[in-house]
Structure 1
Amino acid sequence: MGGRGRGPGGGRGRRRREHAEPSAEDGGTTSSSRAEKGEPPRDPVEQARAICLRLLTGTPRTRKQLADALRKREIPEEAAEEVLSRFEEVGLIDDSAFADAWVESRHHGRGLARRALARELRTKGVDATVIDTAVSQLDSEQEEETARELVARKLRATRGLDRDKRLRRLAGMLARKGYPEGMALRLVRQALEEEGEDTEFLDDEPY
């Protein structure tokens, strides 16, 4: 009986106990255990770099968006700043290019006016000077032409409605996209007149 305890079964028991150390999977990895396995200690800079690269895959992001993501993952501020600054140096973060692309895409894709585009870029943490430069790509003529196209596309869907309701619905659509109230009312009136609607008695009350 005593010899059996020192035999192969006892040896296997000892080996199981030797391997019952905390592991990465159970969240108990320690610096010593990682060193024993030949793994380097967890470096916050490396973590920050990996997070940023993953987030930048497939879609550009602003510096603030990445900084917020690192903060949520509790990356130390110093490590985050080091990685973000380095990414800016090599062009992986470029808020100016981001803003230019955003204006181009959202204006032609969604018909957004300069005011709405600036508001969206502010929510993404883009600097005011960068925003001003980006939205200046759109001049008043281009903005008005896009607004006319939006009204023309939506005009048919309002047929059959009261004239006053048509005016408010179409002008309200433009307002939600950032177009000034005066421009919106003027363009909608013109579109209704061209269609044959009598807009003489439509009032100027806000929509």
Structure 2
Amino acid sequence: MVRTSDEWTSLGRSVLLRQLALGPRSRHQLERKLAEREVPPAVVSALLDRFEEVQLIDDAEFAMMWVRSRTALKALSRAALRRELADKGIDPELAEEALLQVTDDDERDQAHDMVRRRLRGSADLTDRAGRDREVRRLVGMLARKGYSPGAAFSIVKDVVAEAQAAG
């Protein structure tokens, strides 16, 4: 079907509004969604520029919100958040600015809390094999959250030592 420029603009606007109704999106995400619908690049650019002008799209605010929500809900490391923001098409400078919300202490405290919650009460920490198995499981969990192996081992070692001292 051949569409006029006005029809493409109307379609593109509808797609953008539907996407934004679902939640905040980056310019890059919206650009990809319009490309999927085969909206011509000139129309895409004009629509996205207009949506930015009226502040319906704001990558800096999106990055700040993304870091806050993913830190609170998923306890991800800054490295993992940085990768996610890059996947969303956020400019590296904007990403670094948003990541300043999470300090080294915040990240470490968050990881400690997560390991404390996930440490199995049934794990026999006095048995070397059982303790090693639990340490590997917890280090793996932190690794999946984006923590470096060194930091993950250090954090798990601290929490296991606390648990042994308390138990």
TM-score of the superposition, structure 2-length normalised?
0.89
Structure 2 counterpart of 1:176, from 133, 141, 144? 144
Give the corresponding residue for 1:115: 79
Q: Is the 8 A contact 2:5 2:43 kept in 1?
A: no
SS in 2 for 1:196: helix
Q: Is the 8 A contact 1:158 1:166 kept in 2?
A: no
Structure 2 counterpart of 1:194, from 139, 150, 162? 162
Aligned pairs for 1:9-48 (under 5 A) are 43-48=7-12
Aligned pairs for 1:10-159 (under 5 A) are 43-156=7-120, 159=123
Paired residues, number: 161
SS in 2 for 1:86: helix
1:171: Cα distance to partner? 1.1
SS in 1 for 2:120: helix
Identity %: 40
Greater Rg, structure 1 or structure 2? 1
- Residues 147, 99 of structure 1: alpha-carbon distance in 2 compared, 3 angstrom cutoff: same
Q: How large is the RMSD of aligned CA atoms in angstroms?
A: 2.0
Unaligned ranges ≥5, structure 1: 1-26, 32-39, 198-207
- Residues 194, 67 of structure 1: alpha-carbon distance in 2 compared, 3 angstrom cutoff: same
Mapped partners of 1:61, 1:158: distance in 2 = 43
- Cα deviation, 1:105-143, whole Å, max 9, x if unaligned, reads 111111101001111111111111111111121110010
The code of the aligned residue for 1:115 comes to A
Give the corresponding residue for 2:153: 185
1:58: Cα distance to partner? 3.1
The code of the aligned residue for 2:18 comes to R
The code of the aligned residue for 1:84 comes to L
The code of the aligned residue for 1:46 comes to S
SS in 2 for 1:156: coil
Unaligned ranges ≥5, structure 2: none
Structure with more contact order per residue of length (Cα contacts < 8 Å, sep ≥ 6): 2
The code of the aligned residue for 2:61 comes to A
- Residues 41, 83 of structure 1: alpha-carbon distance in 2 compared, 3 angstrom cutoff: closer
- Cα deviation, 1:68-118, whole Å, max 9, x if unaligned, reads 111111111101100000000110001111111111011111110100111
1:42: Cα distance to partner? 5.1
TM-score of the superposition, structure 1-length normalised?
0.72
Higher helix share: 2
SS in 2 for 1:112: coil
1:167: Cα distance to partner? 1.1
